[in-house]
Structure 1
Amino acid sequence: MDYTKIIDINDPVYTFIEVLNHVDLKQYFVEKDYITGRPKYDSEKLLKVVLFAFMESGYVSLRDIEKLCKTDIRFMWILDDMRVPSYATIGNFIKYDLKKSVPEIMDDMNSYIFKKENVDLNHVYIDGTKVEANANKYTWVWKKACTRSRAKLFVKLTDLIDTINECVLSYYQVKFETREEYAIDYLEVISERFLEVTQLDTKDFVYGRGKRKTPEQRYYDLLVEYTEKLKTYAEHISTCGEHRNSYSKTDKAATFMRVKRDYMGNDQLLPAYNFQAGICDGYVAIYDVFQYASDMDCFQPLMTRFHDTYGFWPEYPVADAGYGSYNNYLFCEQHEMKKYMKFTMFNKEMKDKKYHNDPYRAVNFKTDENGKLICPEGRKFNYLKSAPVKGNQYGRTQEYYQCENCEGCEHRTECHKGSGNRIISINEELTSFHEEVLGNLNSIQGALLRMNRSIQSEGAFGTIKWNRNYKRLRRRGFDDVMLEFGLICIGFNLHKYHLSRMKMMKAA
């Protein structure tokens, strides 16, 4: 059957085949030297089926792909007389053969599409969104709660060991050492030592109703119970790691965050992932997935990923106020990127003239001929100290200045509400960065870039989440989530290219 006579000439499948014909698919699948069992499905055809399904639907389940291969004439054309694969075959192909190849496939497709569309990679519009994970809602583990419970458990262990030393081991002239914090290995050693000294046999231990435990058994059972609890707390804290404060028991890579889709209506935290994307002319040029909610910490890894993919740093990275920080501005300075990321108080600086021109703000203070800060009343501020900012990777310090004398000032209530002489903190380099950003974003070019960012980056996520109904993850685990989001981005770019192609054909 000649399917091309049946399928409409404007169907997306023709655009899809055009792109795939310019990509060498064989490089992603290495055949093994030995052959066992039944003949294997054609990997290239399976790949085409999966990618076209994601192009058409945004996200599609494995059973739906199997059904489309049986009922949709376009999928029959792609299969080219190959036997229809089952949903299990498609799932195994995605999990084992496609997982590591998705970023490379996207890069090769983007290289063809970007060349055809003349995509400008120097202007990258950055945004992120939180997508709910495929995990149960009430399975949270909080790192701070585990840390507090562990500290309380250390106190209980100290009391228990003191009791054991006094009530049991004093008869054997043995004493266990107490500590402020206890290692699991140490507790296991003293548990074994306790059995040796008291000559207890765990086979003689009694449990259940009507049975009476000996004092030695009660102490030993408590010691084992506390050791197991300590192991549990240590495992929870290790799973959270340094950068996370929580995780879900049903998907340990997911972190509890606030998402926009609050269907509970009580501002409850939900297990989610932070998806970040760099958009160029409406296409997803780069993407990444993070396990923490802060967008500020996602900027540098995303730009590094862009550099590793395309071989250069974008000249104009444009982002909203969630990305503007001292670290990110300095990162742009080091790699010769222009600063077009808003900072936290950008809107207030722009719209609130009273706040912007407030003479009692430290950044608006003038300096005298010696470089000392002077308040509006003409009183000098003397250097007090410098302190490093906690968690800053570039060693940023905050300078503190104190007024020489605030007594008798007529404007004390407007300038300083505390007691004593006013102390201000200021960082000249960060202030100069803010002034540069204000100048960039207030220019005509900056206004156009801000407008384009809201159209392109937020528009891309709006299309993915709402137009294509992708509001929750289907896979669990960080690697599988990266795979799923990569397939979503490939499908989005293919669909975007088809719409652009149809628009050009209509204009012609």
Structure 2
Amino acid sequence: MDINAYIFAKDQVDLEHTYIDGTKIEANANRYTWVWKNSCTRNRQKVFEKISLLVDAMNQEVLGYLGIKLEKREEYAIDYVSELLEMYKEGTRLDESSFVSGCGHRKSLQQKQYQELEEYLERLKTYAHHIEICGEKRNSYSKTDYDATFMCLKRDYMGNDQLLPAYNLQIAVCDEYIAAVDVKPYASDMECFVPLMEKFNHIYGHYPKYPVADAGYDSYNNYLYCEEHGMEKYMKFTMYKKETTDKKYCDNPYRAINFTRDDAGNLICPNGRKFVFKQTQSVRHNKYGRTEEVYECESCEGCPYKNECCPKSRGNRTIRMNQELTSIQAEGAFGILKWDRSYKRLFRRGEKNVILELTLISCGFNLCKYHNKKQRQAIAA
């Protein structure tokens, strides 16, 4: 980053204000090489069921006469299935060199069962391999680029809404220069904010005071992260546009945020019914321990506003609330790269190589920007 250090020092770039944006660009991977984690999980469960049926057949048709019994399980680890194969082989004294195949040969029952279990073992290994590559935060990957994830791109040249292998490219822009870049295989920008800010801090030794981002980065976790690291919360919340431009939505009397309160602080609906506090519950999968309060209407029976207030609720309406929840754009940089420079598909494969590619492109972008500024200053002088 010596190039950035030189340019930023010469042009006195403000690193306290940074404008964050992300875009999805197609990976250098074949388009029909997808592997879906959910499909692997379902198929693995089907294999578990088939193994149980096969174990029953082995016990009844072969091993029962030898005084041996294999134990069934709801789920089968790869090591355990390998043990079952060895136990069956030793119990029946099978010799794999005597196995037959092809036309004119009749396989023995023991050979059929042994090879069927071998096939299930290989399938389990394949599914485990696919699930391990996907990891916890991804649902798919490409066989020709394991780090690429299948995403829905804005540029659908195939015209059939087909998911394509892609990466989520992130940039932090300061005074029109790209100050930090990052690449993630996640479709959501929300998951990319913290890694980008950590990278910014690693490069410049501090966090930006004012990180500006659109509603795609909005999350309670990201707001808390900003607060913990001394950054102002300049990210738009998810419903920002609707709540600032849609007057009908903002003035809707049946939104919980528009309910009045009595002297005791209880929420009162348009029909004058009180909402009673029921409990405080934790939000699932929230690492910061976020909680929300649950309130229930004392009675929705006979309410004339029920069809407008809660048409899908069978009983009393419940609401969930959290009191703590109660720009210059970086798109210019991506606009120049994608449309003016025709950078619409990656050249390298693998997350580390894609980061290197984006870093080199960012250096070229900053050099071009710095050169153009110096030229304009020379003309103006």
Q: Shorter-chain TM-score: which interval?
A: over 0.9
Q: How many residues align?
A: 380
C-alpha deviation, 1:375, in angstroms: 1.2
Match of 1:387 among 276, 281, 286: 281
Match of 2:97 in 1: 203
| Residue 346 of structure 1, CA deviation | 0.8
Give runs of aligned pairs for residues 229-378 of structure 1, distance below 5 A: 229-378=123-272
Letter in 2 for 1:148: R
Deviation at 1:335, TM superposition (A): 2.0
2:203 maps to a residue whose letter is: T
Counterpart among 466, 481, 486 of residue 339 in structure 2: 466
SS at match of 2:230: coil
Q: Unmatched 5+ residue regions in structure 2? A: none
Aligned to 1:30: none
* d(CA) in 2 for partners of 1:273, 1:217: 47
Aligned equivalents of 2:369, 2:344: Cα separation in 1: 19
More strand by share: 2
How far apart, CA to CA, are the structure 1 residues paired with 2:92 and 2:19? 70
Distance 2:80 2:231 in 1: 53
Identity %: 59
Specify the code of the residue in structure 2 equivalent to 1:501.
Answer: K
Cα distance in 1, alignment partners of residues 88 and 333 from structure 2? 64
Q: 1:423 aligns with which of 318, 333, 351?
A: 318
Distance 1:160 1:378 in 2: 64
SS across alignment from 2:52: helix
2:349 aligned with 1:476: yes
Whether 1:122 and 2:16 are equivalent positions in the alignment is yes
Q: Distance in 2 between matches of 1:348 and 1:165?
A: 64
CA shift, 1:209, in A, is 2.0
Which residue in the other structure is 1:81 paired with?
Answer: none
Structure 2 residue identity aligned to 1:315? K
Q: Is 1:488 aligned with 2:370?
A: no
Q: Deviations over 1:6-29 (max 9, x none)?
A: xxxxxxxxxxxxxxxxxxxxxxxx
Alignment deviations for residues 131-182 of structure 1 (CA, whole Å, 9 cap, x no partner) = 1111100000000000000001100000000000000001101000000000
| 3-state secondary structure, aligned to 1:331 | helix
Partners of 1:260 and 1:276 in 2: how far apart?
A: 16
1:47 aligns with: none
CA distance in structure 2 between the aligned counterparts of 1:249 and 1:470, rounded to whole angstroms? 23
Give the AA of the match of 1:429. Answer: E
Letter in 2 for 1:135: A
What code does the residue aligned with 2:214 have?
A: D
- Asked if 1 retains the 8 angstrom alpha-carbon contact of 2:181 and 2:355, the reply is no
| 1:10-57 alpha-carbon deviations (Å, 9 max, x no partner) | xxxxxxxxxxxxxxxxxxxxxxxxxxxxxxxxxxxxxxxxxxxxxxxx
Letter in structure 2 aligned against 1:472? R
Quote the Cα distance in structure 2 between the aligned partners of 1:210 and 1:252: 43
Match of 1:422, as an amino acid? R
CA distance in 2, matches of 1:497, 1:286: 16
Give how far 1:466 is off.
1.5
SS of 2:215's partner is: coil
Take 2:77 and 2:314, find their aligned partners in 1: how far apart are those partners?
A: 47
The range that moved more, 150-159 or 422-431, is 422-431
Question: In structure 1, how many angstroms separate the alpha carbons of the residues matched to 2:69 and 2:337?
Answer: 65
How far apart are 1:260 and its partner, in Å? 1.5
Letter in 1 for 2:321: I
> Which segment drifts farther, 386-395 or 127-136?
386-395
Give the deviation of 1:344 after TM superposition. 1.4
AA matched with 2:163: L
One-letter amino acid of the structure 1 residue matched with residue 309 of structure 2: C
- The structure that has the greater radius of gyration is 1
Structure 1 residue matching 2:122: 3-state secondary structure: helix
> Aligned to 2:203, what secondary structure does the other structure show?
helix
Which amino acid is 1:116 matched to? K
Give SS of 2:217's match. Answer: coil
Which residue type is aligned with residue 486 of structure 1?
A: T
AA aligned opposite 1:496: K
TM-score by length of 2: 0.97
